[in-house]
Structure 1
Amino acid sequence: MSRFIKIKKTYQFIVFQKLVLVSVLIGFLSSFLAISLKKITEYYESIFLLRAFHFHFYYFLFPLIGLTIIYFLRKYLFKNKENKGIKEIFDCTKISSKNLPAYKIPSHFINGFFTVIFGGSTGIEVSTVVASATIGSLAQQKTNFLRKYKTQLMCAGIAAGITALFASPIAGVLFSIEVISRKINKALLLTNIIAVCVASMLVYVLDEPTLFTVKISMWNTYAIPYFIILGVLAGINSVFLTKSVLFFKSQFLKINKIYNKIFIATFIIGSSILVLPILYGDGYHGVKEIFLHSNDNFTFKFFLSILGVLIFKPIVTSVTLSSGGDGGVFAPSLVIGAFLGFFVATFLNTFFNANVLPINFIIIGMAALLSASIHAPFTALFLVCSLVNDYTLFVPILMVCLISKYTAKYMYPYTVYSYTLNIAK
């Protein structure tokens, strides 16, 4: 009996060693992929956006080029193999025999890059998540006894990728738990913690800056009723975003000829960006702009521009994804939330003399809308705090994230991810 116990402990130790080594490898590869995609996308997006700003016909030409390139890449390089985004990850975690094929890594990396730099109104986050999950999926296929840890290793890749994108290891782990696995066990915690530690080290070594540089001084309890209003509005807006994506996907499926899809999408995307350049690409440049002008007065032009973002960002994002673009609702949620918070704060200060701080509302709005869109309040909380590298607003962000999530769930119980998954059953 003692010999059996000894053999069992030896085997468990070997498995532990393998899990640690594989988690380190997954953490490095996933974070390196995420940082590489982030860097080159930011660089070329800024160049293309500046070019289009000076020559407006590029607002139409760039989306046409991007969607056409993606179509031919999918048809000839990736042999018409479909990309279903996060739905594929859910399928793999539910079906033990199903794995993510290796082509998902270059497919999502390349297509996500081309989508954003050519003006597609989405971000690289979902492309990174699927590519990182594929790294974890491939790792567990190499050794038989690691196959029972498929979900854990895929989540480790995802957590490392999110950590690298947003410099937030806690958000990385929470996203893999709240959105992907939806359960916790020792192996999940072990693999994810190791992977995000490796990713954090790489972020530190490369000295990756935070996405937004802002200074938060304080928040006041008298603003709590206004925070509640923001949470409810964020929940409503997230439902509009979700339903827009689902509606346009269903409509574009009815268009049989691919060039008709591309031309229609090009016209909608180009026209929208021409009127509101903030809609170009991931839109983070627009958020940085409103941080700089957070104390501007409420004018009719201001009202129209913000209203335009709140209405057309979900539509342009939906058209981008429905016409073949690679991405998701992660970046659009952050951008829409920022503009919603800015609008609410400025409106309250102008017409009700509320004396609230617009910067606080911008930050809280980002977290609230992300929370409502993916039904992950704790991921949104830590991710947005990391984006600004400040936890001053921890309490109001947590409160508003919970309000926005449950407002959205009450109005419409599905996210883009869960609704797609239910349809597939």
Structure 2
Amino acid sequence: MKKITRIKKNHRLIVFQKLVLTAAIIGFLSALLGNTLKKITEHYESIFFTLARQHWMLYLLFPILGFSIIYFLRQTLFRKKENKGIKEIYESTDSKTKHLPAYKVSSHFINGLITVIFGGSTGIEVSTVVASAAIGSVVQQKENLFKRYKTQLICAGIASGITALFGSPIAGLIFAYEVISRKWSRSFLLTNGVAVAVAFAFTYFVDNQPLFSINVLPWHLHALPYMILLGMIAGVNAVYLNRCVMLFKQKFAAIDKHHFRIIIGAGFVSLALILFPQLYGEGYHAVKELISQSGHFNLSLSFALTLLFVILLKPIVTSLTLVSGGDGGVFAPSLFIGAFLGLLTASVLNTYFNAGVLPVNFMVIGMAAMLSASIHAPFTALFLVCEAIGDYTLFFPILIVCLISKTTAKLIYPYTVYSYSRV
């Protein structure tokens, strides 16, 4: 009996040691992938966007060129399999037999990069998430001992990828739980905790700069009702974003010839970029520009209409990017729309209702509110945005507004782009 007990104890210790080591490897590889994709995308997006601003005809060329390259690569290198985003992760975690193949790492890395640098109006976040999940899946398949820990190790890759992009291990951990796993367990906390710790250490020494450089100002209680209003408006806009993506996917699925999808989608994306260059790529360049000038804007009719049209067009252009073959999701578009929505709301309140709210604070809160409502993950949005700006001054109002925006969105429409794929 003692011998059996000793064997069982040693077996648990071996499993524990292997899980820790495997999670650390997944964390490092996912952080390396996420950080590399982020840096390469930022570099080439800036170059291509500058060229397009100097030669407007490139706005017409870049989207069709990018979508065509992605289609060519799919047909020749990636087994003629279309990238499905988060749905691929659900298909793997919900099944005992399906796995994320190794080629999904390079597929999402390359396609995500090409999509954004050629003007596709989405971001690299979902590409990073799926590629990181594929790392976790591939590593898990190497050891029969880890069959029962499949979801935990996939989530470890996901959490590490988010950590690398935003420098927030808490956001990575909570995203893996809120959106993918939805189950806490000791093995989940162990594997994901080790992975994000390694990913954060890597990110801290390699890239310790927040995504957005913002001087957040102290908030006042009188602004809270207006912030709650912003949360409700963000909830409505999040439903509009998700419904746009679902509608365009449904309509474009009826088009058999893929080159028609590319021509139609790229044509509309190009036209939108000519009219509103802010929509180019992930759009963080436009958000940073707005942040730097948020204290100097006067609400003229042309400025208000520009903000409004960008907010309304972004979901449509994002949808067209995705249905034309682009790789991405609603992560970056949510942050983008939220910033513009926050600035527009603050400007209207200050101009017509003498509210005295701070536009820069509303931009930050708007980003969190839109992300929370779009993916139904309020705590992910809370920590992610606070880390993205490197400041927790607005922690409490962001928490309140994220919960309100998510509730508003769910009351109007119970699904997100992610959860609808599971129905």
- Long gaps (5+) in structure 2: none
Check conservation: 2:266, 2:324, Cα contact below 8 A: no
Q: Residue in 2 aligned with 1:240? A: 240
Counterpart mapping for 1:254-273 below 5 A: 254-273=254-273
In the alignment, does 2:368 pair up with 1:367? yes
> TM-score, normalised on structure 1?
0.98
Structure 2 distance, partners of 1:124, 1:208, is 19
Q: Residue in 1 aligned with 2:312? A: 311
Structure 1 distance, partners of 2:5, 2:11, is 10
Q: Residue in 1 aligned with 2:359? A: 358
In the alignment, does 2:395 pair up with 1:399? no
SS at match of 2:421: helix
In the alignment, does 2:367 pair up with 1:387? no
Q: Residue in 1 aligned with 2:96? A: 96
State the Cα distance separating 1:6 from its structure 2 match. Answer: 1.2
Structure 2 distance, partners of 1:251, 1:5, is 61
State the Cα distance separating 1:4 from its structure 2 match. Answer: 1.6
Letter in 2 for 1:298: L
- Long gaps (5+) in structure 1: none
Structure 1 distance, partners of 2:37, 2:166, is 13
1:2-44, CA deviations, whole angstroms, 9 ceiling, x for partnerless residues?
Answer: 2221111100000000001001100000000000000000000
Letter in 2 for 1:338: A
Letter in 2 for 1:162: I
SS at match of 1:282: coil
Structure 2 distance, partners of 1:275, 1:31, is 36
State the Cα distance separating 1:338 from its structure 2 match. Answer: 0.6
Structure 2 distance, partners of 1:72, 1:411, is 39
SS at match of 2:110: helix
Structure 1 distance, partners of 2:236, 2:130, is 28
Letter in 2 for 1:103: Y
Letter in 2 for 1:34: G
State, as a whole percentage, how many aligned pairs show the same letter: 59
Q: CA RMSD in A?
A: 0.7
Structure 1 distance, partners of 2:79, 2:36, is 25
Q: Residue in 2 aligned with 1:117? A: 117
State the Cα distance separating 1:261 from its structure 2 match. Answer: 1.1
State the Cα distance separating 1:293 from its structure 2 match. Answer: 1.5
SS at match of 1:347: helix
State the Cα distance separating 1:82 from its structure 2 match. Answer: 2.5
Check conservation: 2:314, 2:333, Cα contact below 8 A: yes
Letter in 2 for 1:167: G
Q: Residue in 2 aligned with 1:42? A: 42
1:32-62, CA deviations, whole angstroms, 9 ceiling, x for partnerless residues?
Answer: 0000000000000000000000110100100
Check conservation: 2:382, 2:395, Cα contact below 8 A: yes
Q: Residue in 1 aligned with 2:200? A: 200
Structure 2 distance, partners of 1:180, 1:259, is 33
In the alignment, does 2:341 pair up with 1:340? yes
Structure 2 distance, partners of 1:194, 1:372, is 29
Structure 2 distance, partners of 1:226, 1:270, is 36
Structure 1 distance, partners of 2:217, 2:223, is 14
Q: Residue in 2 aligned with 1:412? A: 413
Structure 1 distance, partners of 2:353, 2:363, is 18
State the Cα distance separating 1:207 from its structure 2 match. Answer: 3.3
1:380-425, CA deviations, whole angstroms, 9 ceiling, x for partnerless residues?
Answer: 0000000000000000000000000010000000000111221xxx
State the Cα distance separating 1:171 from its structure 2 match. Answer: 0.1
Structure 2 distance, partners of 1:79, 1:225, is 52
Counterpart mapping for 1:64-79 below 5 A: 64-79=64-79
SS at match of 2:294: coil
Check conservation: 2:26, 2:135, Cα contact below 8 A: yes
1:93-129, CA deviations, whole angstroms, 9 ceiling, x for partnerless residues?
Answer: 1111111111100100000000000000000000000
State the Cα distance separating 1:212 from its structure 2 match. Answer: 0.6
Structure 2 distance, partners of 1:412, 1:319, is 21
State the Cα distance separating 1:373 from its structure 2 match. Answer: 0.4
Structure 2 distance, partners of 1:51, 1:207, is 27
Letter in 1 for 2:91: D
Letter in 2 for 1:27: G
Letter in 1 for 2:119: G
In the alignment, does 2:300 pair up with 1:299? yes
> TM-score, normalised on structure 2?
0.99
Structure 1 distance, partners of 2:178, 2:64, is 36
Structure 1 distance, partners of 2:240, 2:412, is 10
- Number of residue pairs matched by the alignment: 422
1:343-390, CA deviations, whole angstroms, 9 ceiling, x for partnerless residues?
Answer: 000110111111101111000000000000000000000000000000
State the Cα distance separating 1:209 from its structure 2 match. Answer: 1.2
State the Cα distance separating 1:248 from its structure 2 match. Answer: 0.6
SS at match of 1:294: helix
Q: Residue in 2 aligned with 1:164? A: 164
State the Cα distance separating 1:79 from its structure 2 match. Answer: 2.1
Structure 1 distance, partners of 2:51, 2:146, is 49
Structure 2 distance, partners of 1:174, 1:78, is 31
Letter in 1 for 2:334: S
